[in-house]
Amino acid sequence: MLPMPSEGTSLGGHLVVIGLSHRSAPVEVRERFWIDESRLFAALASLAGSPGIEEVVILATCNRTEFILWASDPAVAAESVRHFLEREHRLTHSDWEHFYRLEAADAVEHVFRVAASLDSMVVGEPEITGQVKTAWARAQQAGVTGRFLDAVFQKALSVSKRVRNETAIGASAVSVPYAAVELARQIFGSLDQSKVLVLGAGKMSELSARYLLKNGARAVWVANRTFENAQQLADKLGGIAIRFEDRWEHLAEADIVISSTGCPHVLIGREDAERIHRQRHGRPVFFIDIAVPRDIDPAVREVPGVFLYDIDDLERVVARNLEDRRAAAEQAALLVTREVQSFLPRLEAERVVPTLVALRRRLEEIHQKELDRYRAEFGPLNEAEEQAIERFSSQLLGRIATQLAGELKQAPGEPEQEQLTAAVRRLFGLRVDSRTEQNVVAAVQRAALAGSD
């Protein structure tokens, strides 16, 4: 007979998140614990075989490294993560203080919020959803997830989609480069086939050009006083480097001009803008001046068909959009909270599934053993007798299994469920290997899905 589980050990496991992010640690700490693609599968394999951990997903981005676990014992699982970080990343006691640990409902809400970009440095940014999806896919590929984390991540991505579709959280630009793209769209409608000239090779210019290319721009030229720097940025962008003194012949061709040179005087004045406008035969041109001091004379705004936004203009757009996004974030947070509340009972009910699978197997063993004993004592039986006794015994055990399953799934997460699950395991001598049982259930589900195609 199996001993009762020790106090504090979950019969079905708990969702646990252990990690650090831009909210808990500075970049010099975060970068030490980032896990790149080349080391990811080894890390997943190492943690999946560690005490207390049944399933694991690792989410590693520039702003966070998180270990999302289904743990048979949260405290033991946390120690396993700590030992892994000590061994692989030279974790110190002071480092560990930057890590947070969330369990059960708090962990579910955190995963949902991360996937919905509510925990991002820039709330509403779209990249995190893809990163969450990729992290889950990598863990599935490594074979270290099962029914529990699969359910959590499937729901998290569903919630993220609802947040995108039902709120305006991602509708407005909240960075200067994004704002530049948004304004360019307002001027040109579509950015497809537009040409971009970058004056200066700074980081903000690079980001702005990247967003423009991502949104349809087809060509980019880069001019810089140091030609080698122009060449490096052009190579990154897949564009063409030009000499700074040759910029004038390209200004008339460019639909969008991004300027950030650090030059102490104005580079483009009103007369320059008028000449460019004539050469473009009335086609509009959009100047993005993100230089301080400014590269472009504000008077160019007076030229018809010439649009100019400087860094202050762009930051005002960002500020307005941030206010809009904050309101959307509050709406999204309420949606996430409701989704967590509706999902938790389902997740808690799932915790008893490994016990139910093991119970069904045990009852089948009892069923077969008793049939064999009956045949040995009263056989041989004719075909009708075999069918009758098989049907009767199967129905009897089915009723018992159904009744027990109904009781175990009632009051999910309550102490009574834990006590009853422990009692069933003890009474029937069940040894539950959660990962094995999860694989069995997953195989059954896959087979059912395949049969429905």
- The length of the chain, given as a count of residues: 453
Q: What does each C-alpha distance from 107 to 97, 134, 205, 435 come to in angstroms?
A: 18, 19, 39, 21
Angle of helix 147-166 versus helix 127-142 axis, rounded to 10: 160
Q: Residue 11 — φ and ψ, nearest 5°?
A: -75, -30
Strands 240-243 and 285-289: unpaired
The whole-angstrom separation of Cα 243 and Cα 225 is 7
3-class SS of residue 117: coil
Task: Give pairs for 425-429: CB < 8 Å, separation 24+.
Answer: 425/2, 425/11, 425/355, 425/358, 426/1, 426/2, 426/4, 428/359, 428/362, 428/363, 429/1, 429/2, 429/362
Type of residue found at 285:
V
What b/e sequence results for 52-73 when a residue is b if at least 16 CB atoms lie within 10 Å of its CB, and e otherwise?
Answer: bbbbbbbbbbebbbbbbbbbbb
The whole-angstrom separation of Cα 39 and Cα 299 is 55
- Count of alpha carbons within 13 Å of 267, Cβ hemisphere only? 27
Q: Is 263 among the residues known to form the active site?
A: no
Q: Is the dihedral of CA 34, 111, 79, 431 positive or negative?
A: negative
Q: Is the dihedral of CA 417, 419, 420, 424 positive or negative?
A: positive
Q: Do 441 and 147 touch, CB atoms closer than 8 A?
A: yes
Per annotation, catalytic residue among 27, 62, 327, 396: 62
Cite the active site residues: 62
